Homo-oligomer: A and B are copies of this chain.
Amino acid sequence: MPVNLTPPVAAQLLPVAGVSLGVTEANIKREKRKDLLVMQLCAGARVAGVFTKNRFCAAPVTVAREHLAQPDGIRALVVNTGNANAGTGEQGLQDARTTCAALAGLLDCKASQILPFSTGVIMEPLPVGKIAAGLPGCIANMRAGNWHDAAYAIMTTDIVAKAISRQVTINGVTITITGIAKGSGMIHPNMATMLGYIATDAAIAQPLLQRMVSEAANCSFNCITVDGDTSTNDALMLIATGQATLPEIREAGSAEFATLQAAVSEVAIWLAQAIVRDGEGATKFITVRIEGGRDEAECKQIGYAIARSPLVKTAFFASDPNLGRILAAIGYAGIDDLDVAALKLYLDDVLVAENGGRAASYCEEDGQRVMRQNDITIRVALGRGAANATVWTCDFSYDYVKINASYRS
């Protein structure tokens, strides 16, 4: 069950002027579930995004990149669940383009003004006929207040839908940011393995929008892992509709940019943590904080070695303070000149290891007490520099195996 994560409340999700959303049941993989989403954008809205680095990237990722490079402006995004359209070769590219063309015909724009996204099973043909047949239903359902339904429509193995809104005031103008994401398994950077859509009514120059989404991804979706598998379909999109009365943000050094960046990053971090809290089979949410490294890269390297270790993750599932497994993971993280005698390992506030072994002050009862919690922080103080990094992960349970052994059935 998800760890300290409750379903979104529809009334708490704020519309973003310039964005309308419509969902429908297109019967892509199963019947009787909303599995197709169209997000329509006002004229002049800008979109920037970051995508999976998987070489086997899905056809919609390739097409979305192409369309983002066009000058005409994006007018809609279309997202289907139930099929990833990945590992589908030339036919997959055609199917993604057919989807865009079908929606463009309904919205009276060019196919290149549509961004396609897919999530679900890999290496099966996209049922493009069902998607095309479902699009009119999405159009008929189109409303600005549909974020709640949209969050549900993009789920795959997620148990809880993930959606959040924030507002900030910039120069007296209220700016709204609303985001949704899906993801539960196949979660690992780069990119973190999910689909995420964040929209704001602020106006931002295109290069700054790209910078803002990259920074937001780096401090959120690029800091999580569930199973170490990087998906073929990851994408995080940031939409700026420019419908608020605030003048366009054009300077990366401005207070306006910094305030909006902080708010967008906060939304991205909340969504990324929600994905881990709803990680497949998760019963614990684990923050891995590495401090005192020479640079952020080595801190992340050690953080990920701990966060993806099946032995560490099963020990947390069992609430068993078998914490030597954390030391082993630190040791194989690949930092060749790491002085293991110089580091300290903490579990929340409990000093577990120092001087290359168990701390004299450590007692099993203290470790056991922390291990029983749902939210736990592993902190490693390396003592060799000033850099830090944080990675979020979950434990590894019977249910992870169950979910993934029966995913297609």
**Chain A residues proximal to chain B, CB less than 8 Å:** 53-57, 84, 86-92, 121-125, 185-186, 188, 227-232, 308-311, 314-315, 317-318, 320, 322-325, 327-333, 335-336, 338, 340-341, 353, 355-358, 396-398, 400-402, 404-409
Contact = CB atoms under 8 A, between A and B. Distances in A.
A91 B357 contact: yes
Chain A: interface secondary structure?
Answer: loop
A84 B357 contact: no
B331 A54 contact: yes
Contact of A358 (B123, B232, B335, B353): B123
B404 A311 contact: yes
Q: Which of A54, A317, A331 has the most CB of B within 10 A?
A: A331
Q: Tell me how many chains of this kind the complex includes.
A: 2
B314 A404 contact: yes
A340 B357 CA distance: 46
A88 B335 CA distance: 20
A341 B406 CA distance: 29
B186 A327 contact: no
Given A55-B335, A357-B87, A357-B123, A328 B401 contact: no
A294 to B, nearest CB: 15
Nearest to A319: B405
A383 B235 CA distance: 29
Nearest to A320: B408
B90 A327 contact: no
25 contacts: A54-B328, A55-B331, A55-B335, A56-B327, A56-B328, A56-B356, A86-B324, A87-B324, A87-B357, A90-B355, A121-B322, A121-B324, A122-B328, A228-B310, A229-B311, A310-B310, A310-B400, A314-B400, A314-B401, A314-B405, A315-B405, A317-B401, A318-B406, A320-B405, A398-B402
A398 B230 CA distance: 22
Contacts of A86: 324, 327-328
Contacts of A232: 324, 327-328, 331
